[in-house]
Amino acid sequence: MDQATQDQQRLQDLHALLQRAAYRYYVLDDPEIPDSVYDQYYRELQALEGQYPQWIQADSVTQRVGDQPAADFQTIAHRVPLYSLDNVFSFEELALWEKRLVSLVGSAPYICELKIDGLALALTYENGVLVQGLTRGNGQAGEDITANIRTIRSIPLRLLTPDPPARLEVRGEAFIPAAAFQRINQERLAQGEALFANPRNACAGTLRQLDPKVVSGRRLDFFAYAVPQSTVQTQGETLDLLQSYGFRVNPHRAQCPDLSQVQLFIEHWRQARHSLPYGTDGVVIKVDDFTLQAELGFSSKAPRWAVAFKYPPEQAATTVLGITIQIGRTGALTPVAELAPVALAGTIVTRATLHNQERIASLEVRVGDQVIVRKAGEIIPEIIKVLPELRPEESQPFIFPTQCPECSTPTLKEDILIRCPNPQCPAVIRARIEHWCSRSALDIQGVGEKLIAQLVKTKRVKTIADLYTLTALELSSFERMGTKSAQNVIQSIEQSRSQSWANVLFGLGIRHVGQSIAQELTKVFNSAEALAQASPTQITALYGIGEEIAQSVYDWFRQPENQALIKALHSHGVTLVQTESTLISEKLLGQTFVITGTLPTLSREACTALVERHGGKVTSSVSKKTSYLIAGDKAGSKLSKATELGIPVLDEQRLQELLSTGS
């Protein structure tokens, strides 16, 4: 055996040894060899790879910090939306969540997992090798931070299975352990840098570093918890599967047959969580059975089959200095408490939402009151309690306005909301423009609150379409707008003309149409014209879209001022047509498919795309709501389940016949 062959064999042996050692150290917390020995072998492997770069494997432990600093992060669409969870803050709210669930599918066993205080990630493996890692982003698309993710040593670069799937997506939470967080802030303090407010902020800031070497030095960790298109039938089995692939999963979980057991789990960890070496802010409760999950489906922004019970966040007392009214883009009047500044969950809070008139009445909050403030979900400040014994004698009850504070139009009460019905109200116009220019919509840079106020006050901009008639010369005459700033704004407005039809639809600010709903609508109604002609029945045929949303969309397109707006946007060259993978037909509209086994010519991804382009929806689990099962070779348990439920089964040929004939 020549020297090169011996070196190659030695390299492969070291590769396998160090991979196994890293797994035992970072995932199992059960070191196999001393650190000094690991370092010795690591340096030997580095030297061999330096001598023979053609033998470097993508999953080598030496490649975790091998990339050069990135210039920027690319935004990439998630193959399956990465939804956030709805939150509850009490057992009463949890019981209401279960009541809605039981009304849909009956009683269901649960699984409880600790909610890790970090950042959600989506990892993609091809033939067992990590090829991509994305942040949650807006749920529909995230930033590609693969180079940074490779530095997290508890994330396997190669799955520990001899027969990995061709493609696997894994989701989980990246976080910074408490000890690492303290060390990072001590280093920043010594260097005179601003301290991170909490581990979550530190994790987010770390993962957006352009230099992977900085990320590596901060020692992030990771718990895996989901496989979006899993081959197993329960969440518990999913966690076991992830462990078999080499992932670290949180060991603190429990399968609970009913809500009383869920509550016991929550109560146990209310105090026990403080002894953990990482942060957790609650418990995630999921329906364990994937068949029931598929039946429950999703709302516009979250799964119906899961909820997060959040432990009481940090609370503080402060004084209400005033109560003001904000007017949103739909005309809704929202009361806001102006507060004496108070530190809360790492930030200084000066305002807190009071939600609506009924909330003010239930709290009996007044100007001058001493109040307890918390951050709902540790994000939005809200008042949870008034201390009436400290109330000033001269205080008066707050009287909710019966006229719009901005335009004096009499308000209308709709359920618990009070609205200004005047579409020409300056406050409504400002809010609509602000929403249109937001990063999640048309992403127009430089058009902030102060510039919008000037544009509306001078009546230069009366609708969002008027933004596309502005010139750099006239913008430069506005306060705090120099020539360069004006040119940058105009350039950003020009670029916004080519934003996607989904972004435009969201930017229009139609009631109940958030980002995810806009995405779903534009997959089927590939232009503003198509959506304007759709009936409420056609809209509700889409998966996850109910009657209230459909009626809101239908009514919006019936209003003359909105029809004029669409026409004006079209004349200004704003994208009102879906330019990517438009719908071929509506033959499968409203029908749900599950794909299993190996098809003769179509990959799983190609088959999914084919169904979706004809208006169908593909889910991962067979349930009573499944319209068809598409089955190939080695179909397995899903075929048995479909047969039990009497669900029609298609092979690839019959799927093509269905697409050609519609029956």
User: Annotated catalytic sites, by residue?
Assistant: 115
d(CA 650, CA 663): 12
Residue 160 dihedral angles phi and psi, to the nearest 5°: -85, 65
Which residue from 523, 438, 443 is spatially nearest to 77, judged by alpha carbons? 523
Q: Is 508 exposed, middle or buried (0-12, 13-18, 19+ CB in 10 A)?
A: buried
CA 584 to chain centre: 29
The answer to whether residues 379 and 325 touch, using CB atoms and an 8 Å cutoff, is no
CA 253 to chain centre: 23
Helix (H, G, I), strand (E, B) or coil at 168: strand
Which residue from 154, 181, 198, 196 is spatially nearest to 277, judged by alpha carbons? 181
Half-sphere exposure of 442 (CA within 13 A, CB side): 32
Half-sphere exposure of 514 (CA within 13 A, CB side): 11
Say what angle helices 3-26 and 35-51 make with each other, to 10 degrees.
140
- Cα–Cα distances (Å) from 178 to 31, 86, 151, in that order, read 21, 26, 18
Sign of the torsion formed by the C-alpha atoms of 314, 315, 316 and 319: positive
Tokens matching residue 220? 């992030």
d(CA 629, CA 623): 10
d(CA 383, CA 386): 8
The answer to whether residues 218 and 149 touch, using CB atoms and an 8 Å cutoff, is no
CA 382-388-391 angle, to 5 degrees, is: 100
Element (H, E) at 610: helix 604-613
d(CA 454, CA 431): 13
